């Protein structure tokens, strides 16, 4: 073992550049003819590099922690701030909420005659907030002027290999879907052209396939089903007011929403030659397919 | 912070700030990996490996940056992910390369892949061995000091221990390399 230790030392110094000129050239010559030695030198070089990597990795992992921290810290700060704001704003409103009841009782006790006048009083308290909010609602709905449309005839499927023995996650968009509201059918027929994903239904299918990820949780629980997402394709092609019309699993619904949100602008639809806002229904089917790996 | 500043920091041993900053390029890699049958964890491992390579590379004097650091990291990840997909025997299309990405990465990645195996071999050693080797190679503590803090008899004992640890690592490294199908090592 003595000799081997000595040899390792020699290689170490050789790699360090710690040998003098003659020693180094002797070493180089030995390496040139001795395969075993060359191999040992190479291995030792790799191990030294490996050691440097151990050091690098420690720094990299440490940096990852602080990256994560600084990535989330502003959020945490935001959440804290929101909590504080919520507390501050909820505090008095809770008190206000408490007031009316006792005040009614107090009023009732001294003069029962005045009781009827109190009811209008309470109503006046409410009125400023109620009509205001409904009028805003009305304005919004008027502005959007929605025509509904259903995407049809797109059937897609595909798969992505995941766990050792299974092929998981075929997401498909499948139709014709059931939507027998008379008004919708009427409006769909009248649209010319109907709103379209840039590149057409094939491109839409490809886009969904590319971006949809089977939610891990759903995959594990083998949850399958269909989400119907609807959204409005505005006159300028933007996608707005995304809703889950029919969902089946929170994670899958979320995933469908996420991908729809990522969609590029559509070509808007027209009715009688005029641009209109159209509500589009997009069914997305999540299915798991069991397959053998080849 | 410009790329030059980050490189300088890596070179001068102020790597923590530099590496933290470099992680801003992670999301792009994550997107690439997740769009090509990988997970977020895959992307993180891949990216950290790229950071290690850059970190080591930056400290060598001959390193010349021909593109942005983000592009460089992405290129390393893309190449390694392509190799990984091939290794998993998955049918894949070529992953899209950035236009100004360096093309001479093959040799570097092969060497670093091998060094990565050595790293794994070393990390699998016992805590004492790893501690000793870290002190010797990374902290550059003299053997006498190492012997003292590890409770060994003296410099000679520390040296012997270091020899044994390295030998063990070498054995494990060889096994790993043989598994990975490294032909150079299997010969002989």
Give A130-154 pLDDT, tens digit per residue: 443 333 333 333 233 344 445 443 3
Q: What is the pLDDT of residue A127?
A: 39
Identify which of B118, B16, B134, B6 has the alpha carbon closest to the alpha carbon of residue B63: B6
ipTM (interface predicted TM)? 0.88
Distance from C-alpha of B52 to C-alpha of B43, rounded to nearest angstrom:
14
Q: Is B72 on the interface with A (CB under 8 A)?
A: no
pLDDT of A212 higher than 60: yes
Least confident residue range of A157-161, A258-262, B78-82: A157-161
Q: What's the mean pLDDT in A217-238? A: 82
Is the pLDDT reported for residue A23 higher than 50? Answer: yes
Distance CA A11, CA A17 (A): 10
Residue A126 has pLDDT above 60, yes or no: no
Residue A277 has pLDDT above 50, yes or no: yes
pLDDT of residue A9 exceeding 80, the answer is yes
A31-81 pLDDT, tens per residue?
999 998 999 999 999 999 999 999 999 999 999 999 988 888 888 888 888
Query: Is the pLDDT score of A181 beyond 50?
Result: no
Cβ within 8 Å, pair A35-B188 = yes
Q: Among A121-135, A267-281, B53-67, where is mean pLDDT lowest? A: A121-135
Helix B3-11 vs helix B15-22: angle between axes, to the nearest 10 degrees? Answer: 140
Question: Comparing C-alpha atoms, which of B139, B103, B125 is closest to residue B170?
Answer: B125
**Band of pLDDT at residue A290, cut at 50, 70 and 90:** low
Average pLDDT, chain A: 69
A102 or B116: whose pLDDT is higher? B116
Taking CA atoms, A6 is separated from A1, A121, A123, B158, B163, in Å, by 8, 100, 98, 14, 10
Low-confidence residues in chain B, pLDDT < 70: 90-93, 181-188
β-bridge pairing A225-233 and A274-287? antiparallel
Mean pLDDT, residues A71-98 taken together: 74
Binned at pLDDT 50, 70 and 90, residue A188 comes out as low
- Chain B residues with CB-CB distance to A214 below 8 A: none
Question: A81-90, A115-124, A239-248: lowest mean pLDDT where?
Answer: A115-124
The whole-angstrom separation of Cα B81 and Cα B90 is: 12
User: Does the pLDDT at position A105 exceed 70?
Assistant: no
- Which percentage of chain A shows pLDDT scores above 70? 64
Q: How far is A125 from chain B (nearest CA, A)?
A: 51
Do A63 and B34 lie within an 8 Å CB cutoff?
no
CB A14 within 8 A of CB A24: yes
Q: How far apart are CA A174 and CA A152, in angstroms?
A: 8
Instruction: Select the residue of B22, B34, B163 nearest A8 (Cβ to Cβ).
Output: B163
Phi, psi of B4 (to 5 degrees): -65, -45
Interface contact A60-B55, CB threshold 8 A: yes
Q: Which residues of B touch A35 (CB under 8 A)?
A: 188
A→B contacts (Cβ < 8 Å), by residue, are 1, 4-5, 8, 35-36, 39, 42-44, 46-57, 59-64, 66-67, 70, 160-162, 210-211, 213
Bigger pLDDT: A282 or B34? B34
Q: Which of A272, A284, A276 is nearest to A171 (CA)?
A: A284
DSSP string, A195-212: PB-TTHHHHHHHHHHHH-
Candidates B20, B87, B134, B159: best to mutate against A (most CBs of A within 10 A) is B20
Neighbour-count burial for A219-240, b at 16+ CB within 10 Å, e otherwise = beeebbebbbbbbbbbbebebe
Which chain B positions have a beta carbon within 8 Å of A211's beta carbon?
35
Which residues in chain B (102-121) have CB-CB distances under 8 A to chain A?
111, 114-121
The stretch A204-232 carries a mean pLDDT of 81
Residue A224: closest CA among A170, A281, A164: A170
């Amino acid at each position: 073992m003595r000799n081997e230790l000595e040899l390792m030392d020699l290689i170490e110094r050789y790699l360090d550049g710690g040998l003098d000129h003659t020693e180094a050239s002797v070493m180089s010559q030995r390496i040139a003819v001795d395969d075993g030695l060359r191999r040992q030198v190479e291995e030792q070089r790799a191990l030294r590099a490996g050691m440097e990597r151990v050091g690098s990795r420690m720094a990299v992992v440490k940096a990852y922690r602080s990256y994560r921290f600084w990535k989330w810290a502003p959020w945490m700060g935001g959440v804290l701030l929101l909590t504080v704001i919520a507390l501050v704003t909820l505090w008095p409103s809770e008190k206000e909420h408490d007031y009316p009841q006792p005040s009614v009782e107090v009023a009732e006790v001294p003069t029962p005659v005045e009781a009827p006048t109190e009811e209008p009083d309470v109503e006046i308290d409410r009125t400023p907030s109620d009509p205001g909010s409904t009028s805003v609602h009305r304005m919004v709905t008027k502005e959007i002027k929605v025509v509904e449309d259903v995407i049809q005839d797109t059937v897609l499927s595909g798969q992505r290999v995941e766990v050792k023995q299974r092929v998981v996650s075929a997401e498909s968009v499948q139709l014709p879907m059931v939507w027998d509201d008379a008004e919708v059918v009427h409006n769909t027929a009248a649209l010319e052209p109907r709103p379209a994903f840039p590149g057409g239904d094939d491109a839409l299918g490809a886009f969904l396939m590319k971006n949809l990820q089977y939610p891990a949780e759903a995959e594990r629980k083998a949850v399958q089903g269909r989400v119907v997402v609807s959204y409005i394709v505005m006159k300028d092609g933007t996608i707005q007011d995304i809703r889950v019309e029919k969902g089946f699993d929170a994670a899958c619904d979320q995933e469908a929403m996420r991908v729809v949100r990522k969609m590029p602008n559509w070509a808007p639809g027209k009715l009688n030659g005029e641009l209109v806002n159209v509500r589009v229904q997009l069914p997305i089917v999540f299915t798991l397919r069991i397959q053998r790996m080849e | 912070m410009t790329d030059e500043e980050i490189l300088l920091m890596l070179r001068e041993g102020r790597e923590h700030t530099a590496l933290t900053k470099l992680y801003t390029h992670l999301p792009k890699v994550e997107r690439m990996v997740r769009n090509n049958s990988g997970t977020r964890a895959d992307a993180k491992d891949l990216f950290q490996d790229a950071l290690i390579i850059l970190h080591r590379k930056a400290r060598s004097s001959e390193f010349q940056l021909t593109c942005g650091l983000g592009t460089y990291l992405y290129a390393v990840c893309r190449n390694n992910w392509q190799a990984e997909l091939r290794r998993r025997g998955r049918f894949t299309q070529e992953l899209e390369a950035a236009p100004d990405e360096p093309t001479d990465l093959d040799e570097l990645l092969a060497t670093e892949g091998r060094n990565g195996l050595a790293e794994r071999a070393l990390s699998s050693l016992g805590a004492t061995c790893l501690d000793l080797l870290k002190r010797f190679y990374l902290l550059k503590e003299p053997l006498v000091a190492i012997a003292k803090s590890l409770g060994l008899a003296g410099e000679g004992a520390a040296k012997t221990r270091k020899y044994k640890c390295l030998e063990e690592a070498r054995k494990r490294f060889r096994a790993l390399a043989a598994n990975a199908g490294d032909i150079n090592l299997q010969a002989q």
